[in-house]
Amino acid sequence: MRDLAILGAEPAFPEALHVGRPNLGDRERFVQRVEDIFDRRWLTNNGPYVQGFERLVAERCGVRECIATCNGTIALELLIRGVGMEGEVIVPSYTFVATAHALQWQGIRPVFCDVDPATHTLDPARVEELITPNTTGIVGVHLWGNACDTTALEAVGRKHGIPVIFDASHAFGCRHQGRPIGGFGAGEVFSFHATKVLNCFEGGAILTDDQELAEKLRLMRNFGFESKDNVVYLGSNGKMSEVSAAMGLTSLESVDEFVGINRRNFELYREELRGLTGVRLLEPLHPEGFNYHYVVLEIEGAELSRDQMVQVLEAENVLARRYFFPGVHNMEPYRSLQPMAGLPLPQTARLSDIVMTLPTGTSVGKSEIEVIASIMRAALCRPEQVAEALAVPSGDA
Ligand code: T4K
């Protein structure tokens, strides 16, 4: 059996394995594009690379309009404002903090809703219970690339006359109900951050079929300028730069390959982790239309807790992450502003305690996955010894 670093052995990996290590496309193609940007001295403000990137993303998602932005958070802020949300908006707490910040930043109160334990996405029945006269919208998150129950959420939205939008930051390349994610609700937002399946260094996009909304969003993205010297709308600066679009175009050329590698990794993890008591791999809702960008484990009923397992792996230089611990409602400013927000969130609390994500992507292969699984297996074979060596007390989360 493998010796463990936590028990004094050398770490299994000399260099850290990350969750979110960027997938890089063809270096030459990217450099050519950057040379071209230099030659033409057009660096940002709706340049040709941004326009080309928008066209290709819209085409791929089968959506009329794509508005590229400097990151996913700004894209969310613009879309939230663009569809007229204010007052209170229902949102999961089990997400990356940016989903809620995009609301709070504009003085909108995020009302935290629990998630479905099977999919980790908004539970439509719980959403309905939280609607008040002040509710002006719903923001669903396609967490890990698993689509929300869009039909049920949109039905709730229609019933109460409020818009539903989706934070699809994790879901580029995923499908739902036979079509690509990007075209659901009043609009959807992608993140193209370095750690995402499609990467622009920093970047994001809003997708919508509503041309009037798209026009408004384009104004909002560029300070409200309709033409030179003519500001017709309250706006911000959400523009994507040409170099980010060049990276996006380069990533787009390789994204199917990245997804193929992610899928292979996912299947290897499934094989290697089979039979480990208390270790459950979250399966995709739609295996054929999934980007496999996150390898998500639930550690529950095992001889070691999730936190202990993360520590064991960290000692081996495997930087597993506790996404999305501890739930946004437990972070500031929400913890102070809404101290009771956690009461109706039992699934969020549970998932925050048991979920961890493992490294995948192009910098991880069969040998790394075999070693990671063997570390977990070895730790679970001698839980008392491991627990003793760790700072945190043993538990069975
Ligand atoms: N909504 C959702 C549901 C989201 O998940 C996100 C972002 C957003 C909205 C907002 O979209 P953006 O405004 O970011 O476009 C990371 C990302 O920064 C963040 O984009 C992402 N979600 C989130 C899930 O993950 P951190 O704070 O965990 O990042 P960090 O710095 O710890 O990096 C993650 C790992 O990746 C580290 O182990 C280091 C490694 N890494 C990172 C970068 C940037 C590299 O190896 N190379 C790199 O260049 O948030």
The predicted-structure confidence for 209-256, as pLDDT tens digits, reads as follows: 999 999 999 999 999 999 999 999 999 999 999 999 999 999 999 999
Q: Does the beta carbon of 363 sit less than 6 angstroms from any atom of ligand 1?
A: no
pLDDT in tens, 145-204: 999 999 999 999 999 999 999 999 999 999 999 999 999 999 999 999 999 999 999 999
**DSSP annotation string for 127-165:** HHHH--TTEEEEEEE-GGGPPP-HHHHHHHHHHHT--EE
The stretch 255-267 carries a mean pLDDT of 98
In a domain, 397, yes or no: no
Residue 348 and residue 246 in one domain: no
Residue 46 and residue 123 in one domain: yes
Q: Looking at the 3D structure of the chain, how many domains does it have?
A: 2
Q: Does the beta carbon of 204 sit less than 6 angstroms from any atom of ligand 1?
A: yes
Say if strands 17-18 and 318-319 run parallel, antiparallel, or are unpaired: parallel
Q: Does the beta carbon of 18 sit less than 6 angstroms from any atom of ligand 1?
A: yes
Residue 50 and residue 74 in one domain: yes
Q: Does the beta carbon of 319 sit less than 6 angstroms from any atom of ligand 1?
A: yes
Taking the C-alpha atoms of residue 156 and residue 138, their distance in angstroms, rounded to an integer, is 9
Distance (angstroms) between ligand 1 centre and the Cα of 192 equals 10
Looking at ligand 1, which residue's alpha carbon is closest to its atom 49? 194
Taking the C-alpha atoms of residue 92 and residue 136, their distance in angstroms, rounded to an integer, is 15
Residue 237 has what DSSP assignment? B
Q: Does the beta carbon of 167 sit less than 6 angstroms from any atom of ligand 1?
A: yes
Looking at ligand 1, which residue's alpha carbon is closest to its atom 32? 20
Residue 52 and residue 91 in one domain: yes
Bridge partner list, 167: 141, 189
Burial of 299 (0-12, 13-18, 19+ CB in 10 A): buried
Please state, for a pLDDT cut of 70, what percent of the chain lies above it: 98
Taking the C-alpha atoms of residue 86 and residue 322, their distance in angstroms, rounded to an integer, is 31
The chain-wide mean pLDDT, for the chain, equals 96
Q: Does the beta carbon of 121 sit less than 6 angstroms from any atom of ligand 1?
A: no
Contacts with 208 (C-beta within 8 Å, 6 or more apart), sequence order:
63, 64, 65, 67, 79, 186, 187, 188, 214, 217
User: What is the reported pTM?
Assistant: 0.97
Residue 94 and residue 220 in one domain: yes
Taking the C-alpha atoms of residue 95 and residue 325, their distance in angstroms, rounded to an integer, is 9
Query: Of all atoms in ligand 1, which is nearest to the CA of residue 71?
Result: 15
Can you give the CATH number for the domain in which 151 is found? Answer: 3.40.640.10
Q: Does the beta carbon of 284 sit less than 6 angstroms from any atom of ligand 1?
A: no
Domain termination site, one of 192, 227, 250: 250
Can you give the CATH number for the domain in which 354 is found? Answer: 3.90.1150.10
Mutate to test the pocket of ligand 1, among 193, 201, 293, 331 (most ligand atoms within 8 A of CB): 193
Q: Does the beta carbon of 145 sit less than 6 angstroms from any atom of ligand 1?
A: no
Contacts with 358 (C-beta within 8 Å, 6 or more apart), sequence order:
19, 269, 295, 297, 318, 320, 372
Residue 366 and residue 225 in one domain: no
